[in-house]
Chain A
Amino acid sequence: MRPCLLALSLVSLWPSFLHADDGVDFFEKKVRPVFAEHCYSCHSASAKKEKGGLRLDSTDAIKAGGDSGPVVMPKDEKSLLLQVVAHGADAPAMPPKQKLPEAAIADLRKWVMLGAPLPAAVATRSGIDAVARQFWSFQPAAELAVPGVSDAKWPRQKLDFFILQKLDEQKLEHAPVADRRTLIRRVYFDLIGLPPTFEQVEEFVADRRADAYGKVVEELLASPRFGEKWGRHWLDVARYAEDNSTSESTCKPPRFPYRYRDWVIEAFNADVPFDRFVRLQLAGDLMPGTEPSDYAALGFLGLSPVYHKEPKLSKDVIASIVADEWDERVDVITRGFLGLTVACARCHDHKFDPISAEDYYALAGVMSNTQLAERPLKPNADAAEDALTSVRRDLLDATMRLGYAQEQRRTAQKERKSTAEVDQQIKLFEARVADLRKREKGLDTGPALNVVRDAGTTVNGDDPAWTVVDYRPGTFRNLPVFIRGNPTRPGKEVPRRFLEVLASGEPRPFRKGSGRLELAEAITTDARSLTARVIVNRTWGWVFGRYLVNTPSNFGALGERPSHPELLDDLAARFIAKNWSMKWLVRELVTSATYQQSSRHIEKFAAVDPDDRWMWRAPRKRLELEAWRDATLQVSGQLNLAGGGPSENLDDLRSKHRTVFGKVSRERPADIHRLFDLPDPRGHGEKREVTTTPVQQLYFLNSPFVRQASVKLANSASEGRTGEDVAIELFRRVLLREPTTAELATAMRLVQPMNEGSTPAWELLAQTLLASNEFLFLN
């Protein structure tokens, strides 16, 4: 870490961690973990009943002691603490049930004799620094008055005024409106991810009515294809995938991932208000009146990456793997919905944003009470879900135990040792597996959804030879701060609650179950301005190809500032006022004058603003991989618009459905996913990078997919046509226009048969057009 980072760090909860002297370090490493593990259950803020008026979870409390007086006297062997842990005659024995291990007692003694060093007391956080709350993205968003501009006739939507105002300031000029061919191709791809046909283009070009464009926009917004395009945008955010990085017994692929994908697509088509969209995905199961099919929304968490947890590993190792899983979920929620990098606060307070480690563990605590589960797709399935989830979990455990016992038996046999004991175990486990199988059969195993349910999660290391993760529905737990992110070093326990900086007032501890619903509500109420800004900015980027805030998942101090803060605020406020309607928002953007500009180039503007930050023209975009593949299938007459249900393998030449219905794998990504910049679904995808590499171009030149499309396209275009007519037809289908004279000549030279009498090589031309920049890029 660069040294200057430290100088910038904000309020530090535990300053001593940064420059820990040995004593405090000893306390943190050796003493606090003992307190946390053996004493907190009765002596901490979260204890059900604080015993003896004593708390051991903060510096002040330890110094204050309890009803029996001071518990620690520095450098004094007679300190009450040392007496009670010794289980001697003159003091109560603590912990009452079981004496501490000798090593722990020795550590406590050493600590007392060192002078009982403690970290500096922390002032109770009576609220985040007022300055921190002043940061732009934490401000409430409000509608703003239209600013004065140089040309009041240009704007078509309110947002255009803000764009033009900045252009005026920068002494740049907006572009003229794009020609109609460009415009219709652009709006088709942006709204439904498919190109128009040549006939649709011609019709639009000929339609001079004033509302022609508006009508096309309405048609596209109403098309089922809209959700297929826009759902995919969201699936990047939600790091949707259908398996895990590996597929050992404890991280097998989920069985019904596609039901979440289909739900997202349908939600965009149905224009589910975005705030409800958020709540359903985080806590649909905890909301009243959720339809059985809407439980599919829980796939947002229910398809989270799962890592292998080998039971033979120690409790510490498993605890850190489980903590990694929670971390990934905290990350996708906070970056995805709030544009905040809360996961940075896992090991220490966030160095740049007003997010403490306590904030992090308050949210991780919600995840520590949330279990991935399967739920039958039917009404009132709670009980069936619980039964299914428990039986499956028990079955997995029993099967693994059986497997291990069988392995032990083989070893014993080879070493010519008695197998009697292990045979007993095998019998036991076999019976258990058989019994569980029977019970599983009796359960509802019809169509189901990958969801989550509330259940307190703990890593159980009672058996040092077999570590298991326990899930207890109805029992909920807070997490302690893991010091430096290490689960074996628990610090102060934190109630589950929302981020302090975003909460209105002191954040209240979550009371209902895991707290997922309260979290979802906080995201869409307390934090509504930020949440709206984040999704408005994403939508802007999905439409324009560049973002107002160019770090769409980081609205914190290290993120970029908005290029058009007033525009973003106004749009966010109006978006909320329009009942969080995504279709309203998309319509607002694509019917703006800004959107309808041409992408014309002006050297002196490019010199001032090469990135087109101020929108002096429509940005040029490379088609996203889904749009490019779908368009290739469509123009070659192969696209099958049926969709939904189990996924297709995208590397299979027989796969002819829209790319959004192709399998997304964390373990074995499809060729085109790897080559064309699908964000790695092992984690939240902030935005799509656009890389241009030679290996990608080999795909255009040589891949079976492009070759097949070229042949199909050539065959169908040359049916009933000859000579230049075929070339013209190919240009119409792929580039949606007629070739120029020069292009036609080039095309005919290319396809000219080598030998007199053989047929022209139309597939050469077809492939050339499919590989052309004009087809791959959107003006």
Chain B
Amino acid sequence: MNDYDPSDSFGPSRRSFLRELGGSVGLLGLASYLQATDAPAVPALVPGKPHFTPRAKRVIFLFMAGGPSHLDMFDPKAALEKFAGKRPDATDLRTERVTGGVLPSAFRFRPGGKSGLPVSDLLPNIRGCADELCVLRSVYATNPNHSPAANFLASGRIDAIHPGIGAWVSYGLGSENANLPGFVSLGGGFGQVGFERSGYLPGQFQATRVAAAEADPEKMIRHLRNPAIGQDDQQRQLDALQSFNRTHAAANGHDPLLEARVRAMETAFRMQSAAGEAFDTRREPQKVRDTYGRGEFARGCLLARRLVERGVRFVQLSLGGWDHHARINSELKKKCDEIDRPIAALLKDLRQRGLLDDTLVVWGGEFGRTPVSENGDGRDHNHYGFTMWLAGGGVKGGFSHGSTDEFGFKAAENPVSVHDLHATILHLLGLDHEKLTYRYSGRDFRLTDVHGRIVNEILA
């Protein structure tokens, strides 16, 4: 069946290659890391080629699990004051839970940067970077519950079966560093699993999970070090192992399947020290660490910069705790304090190092929150309209796109679906979301299913 699209520059080779997987060899495992020049014997495989010139080469996805309140951070609405405590008849503000009257934001919005993009007092440092931000105020999703909505943001589907965007990007572009995984997931907690999943894509495209709560790389990456064997002994052990393996391979016709594992073993050995270096934020100068601030999320941001700097393609950093059904003013303040400095530091650091031009930073939750109150002083889930922002690689800075209705409840002007967001992220990476497909169960699957429109208006 000839269903290859000739304009798909890497479709056929990639697909036929993947298809042969089961029958021939585990060569695929090599694809994402066998870029190093010291890889003989096995045919070199270019892991991924973009469909067209990319604007961004790497992604840092900051996922705020639980649904941060766009109305208190990025989407000022005068009507909330006007209707404070009331339930305006004209608009249906119903969501899944019991809600009361309109709850005005307790936080003042002020213009930031030269662009004057408004950001609330909850995020003074991020406001200082307003000129880097491309704020999408009209994002909408389909499901008001955390798990399905997080799956939707991760994979474009509400079920827990499909690969997440990081796996798709990894599949499409591979890694730039032979000694590090191409897709790293930092932080844990709710919703992260959906982002890490490779689904029906081969297992090598799943995220390597790292516990950012730890400072020591050995505790961050499972099985990174062997506490019982010193480095010298392990080197000797590897030498003996590879000597046995060489004899075995020679007696077995130098099967690529066997060679692939020999290579992988060497890479793993090198990864122990390469990852030990890359994942160790303690190696940063104190001054830099101070700029990012303290805490797990701050370390995650700094780590994200170290990783993209070393060629990791996709860094997923999640932070839970945004589900403010009650006491939103005090709780949201705490959360924002946790992210404000680190994210601002990340943006500035990337800019200073010249990395922001081709690194795309994405910020947002699985949905936003309601203009009406819940439990008197909280806000309910709201997937009808909320804010996400992008920064860096190929998007306009100091720019806002789309808007919600008068109350900040539903996406009104220039709505951006999650599929549109996915299509746009892939586009920035040089990937055509309609061509990045994987054949599974008799169908060519896409991240964007049968949807997705590139939001051209935000492209720089």
Chain A residues with a Cβ under 8 A of chain B = 1-2, 4-5, 8, 245-246, 248, 307-308, 310, 312-313, 317, 321, 324, 331, 335, 341, 343-344, 352-353, 404, 407-408, 410-411, 414-415, 546-547, 550, 553-554, 556-559, 599-603, 606, 610-613, 620, 622, 666-667, 671, 674-675, 677, 680, 682-684, 686-703, 707, 740, 742-743, 746-747, 749-750, 761, 763-765, 767-769, 771-774, 776-777, 779
Contacts and interface: CB of A to CB of B under 8 A. Distances in A.
Q: Which of A341, A692, A700 gathers the greatest number of chain B CB atoms within 10 Å?
A: A692
The 5 closest A-B pairs by CB, nearest first: A601-B253, A692-B29, A341-B442, A414-B376, A245-B160
Given A620-B252, A701-B226, A773-B249, A687 B22 contact: yes
A369 to B, nearest CB: 22
Nearest to B374: A411
A620 B255 contact: yes
B450 to A, nearest CB: 7
Given A557-B1, A697-B261, A773-B261, A407 B98 contact: yes
Contact of A308 (B26, B145, B228, B271): B145
A246 B147 CA distance: 7
Contacts of B96: 310, 312-313
Interface string B17-29: 0011111111011
A350 to B, nearest CB: 8
B448 to A, nearest CB: 12
B216 to A, nearest CB: 14
Interface stretch (B198-206, B300-308, B417-425): B198-206
Interface stretch (B235-243, B340-348, B362-370, B404-412): B235-243
A160 B173 CA distance: 44
The interface size bin for chain B is 35 or more
Contacts of A743: 244, 247
B123 interface: no
B252 A746 contact: no
Nearest to A707: B228
B336 interface: no
B237 to A, nearest CB: 5
B159 interface: yes
28 contacts: A1-B450, A4-B5, A248-B147, A307-B159, A308-B147, A313-B96, A415-B100, A554-B442, A557-B1, A558-B1, A603-B253, A620-B257, A622-B26, A622-B257, A680-B161, A680-B197, A682-B161, A691-B26, A694-B267, A694-B271, A696-B264, A698-B223, A702-B223, A702-B272, A768-B240, A768-B241, A772-B244, A773-B249
Interface in B3-25: 3, 5, 19-25
B222 A550 contact: no
Given A547-B22, A601-B253, A2 B444 contact: yes
B443 interface: yes
B269 interface: yes
Contact of B253 (A2, A8, A606, A749): A606
Contact of B233 (A667, A764, A777): A764
A761 B240 CA distance: 13
A677 B441 contact: no
A698 B266 CA distance: 10
Interface in B109-161: 143-145, 147-148, 158-161
Given A612-B23, A686-B441, A690-B21, 19 more contacts: A2-B444, A5-B3, A312-B97, A313-B145, A331-B441, A408-B98, A550-B23, A601-B252, A611-B23, A622-B26, A690-B25, A691-B26, A693-B203, A698-B224, A701-B265, A702-B224, A749-B236, A773-B249, A777-B258
A352 B439 CA distance: 14
B202 A689 contact: yes
B193 to A, nearest CB: 8
B205 to A, nearest CB: 9
Given A694-B264, A697-B265, A2 B5 contact: yes
Nearest to A408: B98
B260 interface: yes
Given A414-B375, A414-B377, A773-B262, A335 B144 contact: no
Contacts of A764: 229, 233, 236-237, 240
